Structure 1
């Protein structure tokens, strides 16, 4: 290689380094920012997870402490005093537990009031609200006006509703109590054909069909 060629290569290399240096000074901050964002994002994610675990543990410990009393009424009151924060799911859990404890203590009206409050809480997911409404309908039983009961069960038994099959069971039981045997049998058999029917519900429906003088699976 001649001295001229060697000189040209050196100059070319210097120009390349100079360009790279200018590019780094101009855009290098982007790389640094990306590194900071990645590290900061990872740290934030880990901190958030740690906080969530801590809050869940505190929430669970609070429930266990509330349920530690021997008196069901006291347990219901203690559960209602637990803060749920902004977590609607926790509000629902506390409400259902408090309603159950009130019922255990013989406070049927208190349990019903709690369930109705959950059903009316628009901050809760529909699945929680519909479960609360179904439990309230079952608990109210004959004390609930027939028209209101039938309307509620019809909503809860609508196609795609999360507790459709359970609402269908309640509708069939109402029909059976009213002496509408054929309609009740038809509904119990419909339950057997529902895609998401549980083994327990299938067993109950089959037993009711036999009690009503029908045959499970018959049209």
Structure 2
């Protein structure tokens, strides 16, 4: 019986092996194709990463070369001639270009550069918002206060990462237009905000005192007197 069982097992194993070979001959190309696709996909991702890295390095080198130019206007001109190659790179390049244009006292060009970036749908929203904010700062004394107020109001809405900075600019517009009470009230609101930063708190406290007001008790995360370095 044992020899018979052994023979049956051998035959069964041989049949299974033949069936496996037949399946491999019939469907093996599918497994090979899947394997090739996986290997190709990994290789493609690595190539894309290498290209992105090389592109970023080339952009950085070009910007450093442009910034090494002595004359401010020439630096701005050199930056405008650089091709970024990516949306994020283009955003950083545009902001650097606008900064150099502003340093060269070419405010209209700086505003135009930032405005173009602020409406570029290819770049992330935060870049567009920062560009709009910087443009509005440069427009002080150039664009009507009411028009700037409308734009800063949009940036000061809840959920906007620049809302407190925009609120500060709205307070400065209140001062510019002679509405001291509105400016003081806005600064008090800023001091009571849970997301208030230390630098903004310091500026708000200084302006409130300069306008003849005093911080309301309990409106800041830390004692107002301590912010000015006084003892209580």
Match of 1:95 in 2: 94
Match of 1:215 in 2: 214
Work out whether residues 171 and 182 of structure 2, in 8 Å CA contact, stay in contact via their aligned partners in 1.
Answer: yes
CA separation in 2, counterparts of 1:89 and 1:147?
A: 32
CA separation in 2, counterparts of 1:38 and 1:122?
A: 33
CA separation in 1, counterparts of 2:99 and 2:127?
A: 15
Alignment map for 1:111-126 (pairs within 5 Å): 111-126=110-125
Match of 1:133 in 2: 132
Over residues 145-167 of structure 1, what are the superposed CA-to-partner deviations in whole Å (9 max), with x where a residue is unaligned?
A: 22211111111111112211111
TM-score by length of 2: 0.85
Match of 1:177 in 2: 176
SS of 2:140's equivalent in the other structure is helix
Match of 1:190 in 2: 189
Alignment map for 1:46-65 (pairs within 5 Å): 46-65=46-65
Match of 1:23 in 2: 23
- Asked if residue 105 in structure 1 is aligned to residue 108 in structure 2, the reply is no
Between 183-192 and 21-30, report the one with greater CA deviation. Answer: 21-30
Match of 1:146 in 2: 145
Work out whether residues 56 and 89 of structure 2, in 8 Å CA contact, stay in contact via their aligned partners in 1.
Answer: no
Work out whether residues 115 and 135 of structure 2, in 8 Å CA contact, stay in contact via their aligned partners in 1.
Answer: yes
CA separation in 1, counterparts of 2:128 and 2:91?
A: 8
Over residues 21-59 of structure 1, what are the superposed CA-to-partner deviations in whole Å (9 max), with x where a residue is unaligned?
A: 222222222332232223222222222211111111000
CA separation in 2, counterparts of 1:75 and 1:103?
A: 11
CA separation in 1, counterparts of 2:98 and 2:33?
A: 52
Flag structure 1 segments of 5+ consecutive residues without an equivalent: none
Work out whether residues 171 and 183 of structure 2, in 8 Å CA contact, stay in contact via their aligned partners in 1.
Answer: yes
CA separation in 1, counterparts of 2:37 and 2:20?
A: 24
Quote how far apart the aligned CAs of 1:112 are: 2.0
Match of 1:161 in 2: 160
Between 167-176 and 21-30, report the one with greater CA deviation. Answer: 21-30
The RMSD of aligned alpha carbons is 1.9
Over residues 165-192 of structure 1, what are the superposed CA-to-partner deviations in whole Å (9 max), with x where a residue is unaligned?
A: 1110000111123332222122112112
Work out whether residues 118 and 132 of structure 2, in 8 Å CA contact, stay in contact via their aligned partners in 1.
Answer: yes
Match of 1:37 in 2: 37
Counterparts in 2 of 1:2 and 1:90: CA distance versus 1, 3 Å? closer
Quote how far apart the aligned CAs of 1:60 are: 0.1
CA separation in 2, counterparts of 1:67 and 1:171?
A: 33
Q: How many residues align?
A: 218
Counterparts in 2 of 1:11 and 1:116: CA distance versus 1, 3 Å? closer
